[in-house]
Amino acid sequence: MDHYRIKNLLADKPIGKALEVRGWLKTRRDAKGNFSFLEINDGSCLANLQVIADNSLANYETEIKRLTTGCSIKAAGNIIESPAKGQDIELHAKEIEIYGWSPAESYPLQKKRHSFEFLREIAHLRPRTNSLSAVARVRSVLSYAVHNFFQERGFFLVHTPIITTSDCEGAGELFTVTSLDYDNLPKSGGKVDFSRDFFGRPANLTVSGQLQAEIYALALGNVYTFGPTFRAENSNTSRHLAEFWMIEPEMAFCDLDRDITVAEDLLKHMVSYVLENCGEDIDLFDRYVEKGLKVKLEDILSHDFIRIPYSDAIDLLDASGRDFEFPVHWGADLQTEHERFLAEESFQKPVVVTDYPKEIKPFYMRMNPDEKTVSAMDILFPGIGEIVGGSQREERYDVLRARMVEAGLDIEEYEWYLDLRRYGSVPHAGFGVGFERIVQFITGMANIREAIPFPRTPGSAPF
Ligand code: 4AD
Ligand code: MG
């Protein structure tokens, strides 16, 4: 007998066909006249399938009437037109098999709505809820949208390393990777002797695949990497994770202007792809998570992003007369409150801030002719703040080297990066999209911890 996924079943509506579905019980309701309504969900979509089980089934009294939320079952029977409102079809069961019971006394998911905080504590069961299963589906569809966007445009996927010996962002927020015995550390001159560590030198989890993506861009032209990145940033906010996924394209023969255009196109593609393919899930978020979400998403598609140089943004913030917690002045980094003011109040749409002071940006960004600012861009979204960070890269050997010295980098460790400027250097640019931040924006979730299956944050890495 054909095993059907509920999503396909509801789309095909094969009335009269004998088939089976497998999933988890949402509810059981017993009707007068010795039959029961079972609502089954199999995770393929938000909708449940209604199954009618009656006392002609051999296990009706012994098992079916004992079914509770969370039990896993197989229901085999015929698809019939449903007389009930709100659904077109239902399954008239000829056989119900129970795979696993789910004791009602202890099953943590009740019929009522649970808080997202509570659900985080049971992250092994939260994908069985409507909202978190919807997030999981949207996240998967979004990953696919990222790949089809780049693949259709001739970009090659590069798997950049997870373990590295470089610090792309130079922020020192590194998780060390070691196999040394902490109770018996090899020392030399009072310091840990990393020459005796696994890699013969200090190593860490990557904070960004950019530097390695640059290597491949300068050979393959247009590339992208999409993988996990790690930052030991002690920020316990609703927008920070210690482990997050980043989408990082890198393009040879590309300037900042085109870099921004590609980023805008990518973000719009992700939004429109989800609207086209996850309508039901988006409707759920619109109803229960963020009112007006769908309009917000459609709005993103219908406007050009605003582009504004950092210096003008500072003037704008200054002129706002706002009493910001962090004072605004030229040279200071934009804080979340400033970013959100620009995107939510000044422009009420995504804003691309360009040409930041060189002091507040990493060494690899291309120096502008004013020698004060670099060819950088951050894309700020309403409700989120920074969602993308990118730049044109410094392709001039001398300028890059001087910047690295200024930044205090150990030049010897980065000779390979300088080689890319010694041998066939070209103007190139790229950016990084925080994947969970865009998932957060698209699902309307208030906290980024709902945008990833297993959030890792300071003091918390269960499962
Ligand atoms: O601005 P960032 O630090 O840029 C880079 O790492 C560049 N190397 C990217 C590139 O040019 N290839 O990070 C990029 C994005 C941010 O805009 C933000 O959306 C996200 O990554 N991000 C985080 N998301 C969740 N939790 C954190 N702790 C994040 N830190 C950055
Ligand atoms: Mg940034």
Instruction: Tell me the CA–centroid distance for residue 183 and ligand 2, in Å.
Output: 37
Distance, in Å, from the CA atom of 327 to the CA atom of 130, rounded to the nearest integer, reads 42
Instruction: Tell whether ligand 1 has an atom less than 6 A from the beta carbon of residue 310.
Output: no
Instruction: Tell me the CA–centroid distance for residue 380 and ligand 2, in Å.
Output: 10
CATH of segment(s) 126-161+214-450? 3.30.930.10
Beta strands in 120-265 (DSSP E): 156-157, 163-164, 176-177, 187-188, 191-192, 203-205, 222-230, 243-252
Pocket probe for ligand 1: among 205, 238, 246, 351, the residue whose CB has the most ligand atoms within 8 Å is 246
Instruction: Tell me the CA–centroid distance for residue 432 and ligand 1, in Å.
Output: 6
User: Following DSSP, what letter does each residue of 272-330 receive, concatenated?
Assistant: HHHHHH-HHHHHHHHHHTSTTHHHHHHHHHTSPPEEEEHHHHHHHHHHTT---SSPP-T
Helix axes 397-406, 415-422, angle to 10 degrees: 160
For the CA of 432, the closest atom of ligand 1 is 9
pTM for the full predicted model: 0.97
Instruction: Tell whether ligand 1 has an atom less than 6 A from the beta carbon of residue 225.
Output: no
Q: Which pLDDT score is estimated for 393?
A: 98
Instruction: Tell me the CA–centroid distance for residue 431 and ligand 2, in Å.
Output: 9
**For atom 29 of ligand 1, which residue has the closest CA?**
240
Distance, in Å, from the CA atom of 135 to the CA atom of 455, rounded to the nearest integer, reads 13
Q: What is the 3-state secondary structure (H, E, C) of 33-47?
A: CCEEEEEEECCCCCC
Other beta carbons less than 10 A from residue 346's beta carbon? 16
Q: Which pLDDT score is estimated for 294?
A: 98
**For atom 31 of ligand 1, which residue has the closest CA?**
434
**For atom 24 of ligand 1, which residue has the closest CA?**
434
Residues of the chain with CATH 3.30.930.10: 126-161+214-450
Instruction: Check if the beta carbon of residue 353 is closer than 8 Å to that of residue 377.
Output: yes
Instruction: Tell whether ligand 1 has an atom less than 6 A from the beta carbon of residue 241.
Output: yes
Instruction: Tell whether ligand 1 has an atom less than 6 A from the beta carbon of residue 430.
Output: yes
Q: Which pLDDT score is estimated for 384?
A: 94
Give residue 194's pLDDT band: very low, low, confident or very high (50, 70, 90): very high
Q: Among all ligands shown, which has an atom nearest to the Cα of 243?
A: 1
Provide, rounded to the nearest whole percent, the portion of the chain with pLDDT above 70. Answer: 100
> Residues 228, 233, 234, 236: is their CA dihedral positive or negative?
negative
Give residue 136's pLDDT band: very low, low, confident or very high (50, 70, 90): very high
End-to-end, the C-alpha distance of the chain in Å comes to 37
> Which uninterrupted H or E stretch holds 89?
strand 89-100
Whether 75 has a pLDDT exceeding 90, the answer reads: yes
Q: Which pLDDT score is estimated for 86?
A: 82
Instruction: Tell me the CA–centroid distance for residue 170 and ligand 2, in Å.
Output: 12
Distance, in Å, from the CA atom of 378 to the CA atom of 339, rounded to the nearest integer, reads 10
Instruction: Report, as an integer, the average pLDDT of 391-401.
Output: 98
Whether 84 has a pLDDT exceeding 90, the answer reads: no
Strand partners, 374: 367
Distance, in Å, from the CA atom of 3 to the CA atom of 22, rounded to the nearest integer, reads 8
Distance, in Å, from the CA atom of 258 to the CA atom of 264, rounded to the nearest integer, reads 10
Q: Which of 60, 21, 61, 58 is nearest to 39 (CA)?
A: 21
Instruction: Tell me the CA–centroid distance for residue 386 and ligand 2, in Å.
Output: 7
Instruction: Report, as an integer, the average pLDDT of 295-304.
Output: 97
Instruction: Check if the beta carbon of residue 246 is closer than 8 Å to that of residue 433.
Output: yes
What mean pLDDT value characterizes the chain?
A: 96
Distance, in Å, from the CA atom of 420 to the CA atom of 65, rounded to the nearest integer, reads 70
For the CA of 242, the closest atom of ligand 1 is 28
Task: Sort 5 into a burial class: Cβ within 10 Å, 0-12 / 13-18 / 19+.
Answer: middle
Other beta carbons less than 10 A from residue 124's beta carbon? 12
Q: 100-109, 153-162, 170-179, 195-204: lowest mean pLDDT where?
A: 170-179
Whether 2 has a pLDDT exceeding 90, the answer reads: no
**For atom 1 of ligand 1, which residue has the closest CA?**
389
Question: Which residue bears the tokens 């969602």?
Answer: 387
User: Following DSSP, what letter does each residue of 400-432 receive, concatenated?
Assistant: HHHHHHHTT--GGGGHHHHHHHHSS---EEEEE
Instruction: Report, as an integer, the average pLDDT of 416-428.
Output: 98
Instruction: Report, as an integer, the average pLDDT of 417-446.
Output: 98
Q: Which pLDDT score is estimated for 288?
A: 97
**For atom 22 of ligand 1, which residue has the closest CA?**
434
Question: Which residue bears the tokens 């060189």?
Answer: 358
Whether 110 has a pLDDT exceeding 90, the answer reads: no
Other beta carbons less than 10 A from residue 265's beta carbon? 12
Distance, in Å, from the CA atom of 152 to the CA atom of 146, rounded to the nearest integer, reads 10
Class of domain 2-100: mainly beta
Instruction: Tell me the CA–centroid distance for residue 433 and ligand 2, in Å.
Output: 9
> Which uninterrupted H or E stretch holds 261?
helix 256-277
Distance, in Å, from the CA atom of 445 to the CA atom of 293, rounded to the nearest integer, reads 10
Q: Which pLDDT score is estimated for 174?
A: 95
For the CA of 387, the closest atom of ligand 1 is 19
Instruction: Tell whether ligand 1 has an atom less than 6 A from the beta carbon of residue 339.
Output: no
Whether 144 has a pLDDT exceeding 90, the answer reads: yes
Instruction: Tell whether ligand 1 has an atom less than 6 A from the beta carbon of residue 364.
Output: no
Residues of the chain with CATH 2.40.50.140: 2-100
Other beta carbons less than 10 A from residue 451's beta carbon? 25
Give residue 166's pLDDT band: very low, low, confident or very high (50, 70, 90): confident
Distance, in Å, from the CA atom of 122 to the CA atom of 108, rounded to the nearest integer, reads 8
Whether 9 has a pLDDT exceeding 90, the answer reads: yes
